């Protein structure tokens, strides 16, 4: 199984809502990633988890809160978002976070903040 | 952060080879060169990566210049399914590990 799954596929939320994005992989990968992608732009790295520990936070606002409950799961908790946070949120995993490792991406969650 | 430069777009005819260039003049000795592609409405997909030597896999070939300041992704026979945005990436060292910094990418159009 070489698949990264993400739920939900689409999410519409108001600025006062709290919601969570979920990502799952069963490839035994020990590195997991969150990216944000705006329309017609490349993905931008948000967070990196290595062996369930947060190793990189790219100065992401605190209204985005990542969580890695175990080696297969990665969550992104959302609270008090702004309309400009509307984007495609991509999850990825790789065997480790070493330079030469290939990343497997999920299909993304398309988020709209109203 | 390591940077890559790619043409905004390229066009190819179906069943012909495609050479997608990438400049990375600030590359350091330990940077790997990665290529990913993103088809419409999908997440990025790994294509190939290399360090110094040319690399081949079932999807493509990667030709790396001797000074490593540029590389070329080669699709041997383009198909309509290869129409996508192709990203050339250097993985950069961050304070906690390696970061993947996507460049702007090249949008490949394939004509039937």
Q: A47 pairs with which residues across the strands?
A: A34, A57
| Residue pLDDT, tens place only, B62-96 | 999 999 999 999 999 999 999 999 999 987 666 66
pLDDT single digits (tens) A56-75: 898 999 999 999 999 999 99
Q: Which two tokens stand for residue B77?
A: 């026979």
User: Can you give the pLDDT at residue B96?
Assistant: 62
Residues of chain B contacting A90 with CB distance shorter than 8 Å: 43-44
Residue pair B39/B84 in contact by the 8 Å Cβ criterion: yes
Q: Cβ of B100 and A42 within 8 Å?
A: no
Question: What's the rounded mean pLDDT across residues A40-60?
Answer: 93
- Taking an 8 Å cut-off on Cβ atoms, the answer to whether B43 and A48 are in contact is no
Q: How confident is the model at residue A4 (pLDDT cuts 50, 70, 90)?
A: very high
**By the 8 A CB rule, do B70 and B7 touch?**
no
Q: Could you say which DSSP state residue B80 is in?
A: G
Q: Considering only alpha carbons, which residue of chain A is nearest residue B103? A: A42
Cβ neighbours for B86, distance < 8 A, ≥ 6 positions apart:
B6, B20, B35, B36, B37, B47, B73, B105, B106, B107, B108
Q: Residue A85 phi/psi, 5° resolution?
A: -80, -5
Using a 10 angstrom Cβ sphere, with 0-12 exposed, 13-18 middle and 19 or more buried, the burial of residue B21 is middle
- Decide if pLDDT at A15 tops 70: yes
Quick one: how far is CA A85 from the chain centroid?
Answer: 13
The Cβ of residue A72 has, within 10 Å, a number of other Cβ atoms equal to 15
Task: Please name the helix (run of DSSP H) or strand (run of DSSP E) that holds residue B88, with its range, or none.
Answer: strand B84-93
| Contact (CB, 8 A) for B8 and B103 | no
Note the pLDDT of residue B100. Answer: 83
User: Tens of pLDDT along B27-71?
Assistant: 888 888 999 999 988 999 999 999 999 999 998 999 999 999 999
Chain A: closest CA distance from residue B15 (Å): 27
pLDDT value of position B16? 96
Share of chain A above pLDDT 70, in %: 98
Nearest to B38 by CA among A106, A58, A84: A106
- Count of beta carbons in the 10 Å neighbourhood of residue B59: 15
- CB A103 to CB B30 under 8 A? no
């Amino acid at each position: 199984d070489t698949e990264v799954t993400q739920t939900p596929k689409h999410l519409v939320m108001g600025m006062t809502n709290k919601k969570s994005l979920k990502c799952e992989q069963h490839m035994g990968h020990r590195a997991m990633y969150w990216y944000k992608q705006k329309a017609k732009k490349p993905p931008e790295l948000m967070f990196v988890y290595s062996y369930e520990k947060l190793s990189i936070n790219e100065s992401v606002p605190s209204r985005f809160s990542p969580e890695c409950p175990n080696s297969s799961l990665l969550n992104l908790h959302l609270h008090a978002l702004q309309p400009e946070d509307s984007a495609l949120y991509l999850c990825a995993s790789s065997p480790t976070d070493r330079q030469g490792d290939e990343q497997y991406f999920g299909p993304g969650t398309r988020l709209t903040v109203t | 952060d390591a940077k890559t430069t790619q043409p905004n777009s390229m066009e190819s005819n179906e069943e012909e080879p495609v050479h997608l260039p990438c400049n990375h003049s600030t590359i350091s000795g330990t940077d790997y060169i990665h290529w990913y592609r993103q088809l419409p409405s999908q997440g990025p997909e790994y294509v190939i990566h290399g360090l110094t030597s040319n690399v081949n896999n079932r999807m493509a070939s990667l030709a790396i210049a001797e000074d490593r300041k540029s590389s070329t992704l080669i699709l041997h026979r383009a198909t309509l399914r290869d129409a996508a945005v192709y990203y050339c990436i250097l993985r950069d060292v961050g304070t906690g590990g390696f970061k993947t910094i996507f460049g702007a990418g090249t949008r490949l159009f394939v004509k039937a």
